[in-house]
Amino acid sequence: MIKYKNMSIDSNLFSKRNRVLLGELVKTDFKLRYQGSVLGYLWALIKPLLMFAILYVVFSQILRFGDKIDHYPVYLLVGTVLWSFFTECTQQGIHAIEQRGELLRKINFPKYIVVLSATSTAVINVLINLCVVVIFALISGISPSWSWLLVPLSLLELYALALGVSLLLGAINVKFRDIGNIWDVLMQAMFYAIPIIYPLSMVAERSALAAKIILLNPIAQAIQDIRHNLITTQAETTWGELHFWAIIPIVIVVAVFIVSIFYFRRKSKYFAEEA
């Protein structure tokens, strides 16, 4: 556990003190996450793989969702890993301020560093898991291509959305503690509303318009783009399409991020009192 003394840290995100504090918080969060468990850091790999195994048996072997999709096991694994990343990011980020209330009262520093540190643990986990995805992809016979270089862009978009949601809802959650529970329920519903476990082509076969509407969700759009660029062109996507439908998810991410920053800055001066 890190011990902190009363001190003042200037508000420059790139100042040495802020970088040191962010690094220490990230290390502490990552260590505490797996402290006391027998398998320790291996849980960062085991949890999404176990979830993938269950979903694969049910939706691939029993319900046969992936019969028309090449490399469906890797397709499903990517969706599982990215969904777990977004879920972990937002859940940890939303509760970061209330969980660090004692620290906020002792140290004067930019409050968004607390949210950044909480979500950074999820970033570490997803990078580890994506290495496993690449190994599975190569074993499955997927050949590396230039499109793999585009994956970080979609991952950055997904993280920007998760960070924006965390800043916005985290600031609200300081005063209204029901926000975290409401978000958990919404995430449960969204898991089935976007193509994590089923191919989007199943929706497109019944309604092309419904499939386009689903892709307006930045989470669905980012996951489909990564599947398209990493695994198979059978994954429906808006990638490379310069039209109205394609830019809406990007606009949503930018809008959420900007609004969240302004709202968070406005409310951050009260965090020490309310957290």
Q: What is the mean pLDDT of residues 268-272?
A: 79
Residue 23 falls within a domain, yes or no? yes
Q: pLDDT above 90 covers what percent of the chain?
A: 29
Residue 37 falls within a domain, yes or no? yes
Cβ-in-10-Å burial (0-12, 13-18, 19+) of 95 comes to: buried
pLDDT at 222 over 90: yes
Half-sphere exposure for 257 (CA within 13 Å, toward CB): 15
Residue 4 falls within a domain, yes or no? no
Residue 5 falls within a domain, yes or no? no
- Quick count: other Cβ atoms within 10 Å of Cβ 42? 11
Residue 6 falls within a domain, yes or no? no
Report residue 210's pLDDT band, with 50, 70 and 90 as the boundaries. confident
| Better-scored residue on pLDDT, 143 or 46 | 143
Short-list 217, 214, 209, 211, CA closest to 252: 217
What residues make up the domain containing 219? 11-274
Q: Which H or E run includes 164? A: helix 151-173
**What pLDDT, on the 0 to 100 scale, is given for residue 42?**
67
Q: Which residues contact 207 (CB under 8 A, 6 or more apart)?
A: none
Question: Across all residues in the chain, what is the average pLDDT?
Answer: 82
**What pLDDT, on the 0 to 100 scale, is given for residue 91?**
92
**What pLDDT, on the 0 to 100 scale, is given for residue 1?**
42
pLDDT at 154 over 90: yes
The predicted-structure confidence for 230-268, as pLDDT tens digits, reads as follows: 988 777 776 555 556 778 899 999 999 999 999 999 988
Residue 109 falls within a domain, yes or no? yes
The residue written with tokens 């040191």 in the block is: 20
pLDDT at 64 over 80: no
Report residue 5's pLDDT band, with 50, 70 and 90 as the boundaries. very low
Number of domains in the chain: 1
pLDDT at 52 over 90: no
- Distance (Å, whole) CA 210 – CA 204: 7
- Distance (Å, whole) CA 89 – CA 115: 9
The predicted-structure confidence for 10-40, as pLDDT tens digits, reads as follows: 445 557 777 777 777 877 777 666 665 555 5
The predicted-structure confidence for 86-111, as pLDDT tens digits, reads as follows: 999 999 999 988 887 777 777 777 88
Residue 235 falls within a domain, yes or no? yes
Residue 3 falls within a domain, yes or no? no
Q: What is the mean pLDDT of residues 151-177?
A: 93
